[in-house]
Amino acid sequence: MSLGEALPAEMARVRDKVMPAYLKVGNAGLIALTMMRSDLDAAAKAMMEGDTVAMLRVYESLKGYTL
């Protein structure tokens, strides 16, 4: 799988699976949610700009979010 395929898949995983779990815990999850949103924004920006280095960096960061 290429980075161009893996990054959107990882973005979807964080958005659709990880973030809802953190939303359920309320205020305790706010800091992590803020970080996830920032990484998702950075990923979208990197993809739009074709910045491969930034895409790799944010891909690795997104992989670190777990349930």
Tens-level pLDDT at each residue, the chain (67 residues) = 999 999 999 999 999 999 999 999 999 999 999 999 999 999 999 999 999 999 999 999 999 999 9
pTM assigned to the model:
0.94
Give, for 14, the enclosing helix (H) or strand (E): none
Nearest to 35 by CA among 56, 64, 13: 64
- Residues near 61 by beta carbon (within 8 Å), at least 6 away in sequence: 39
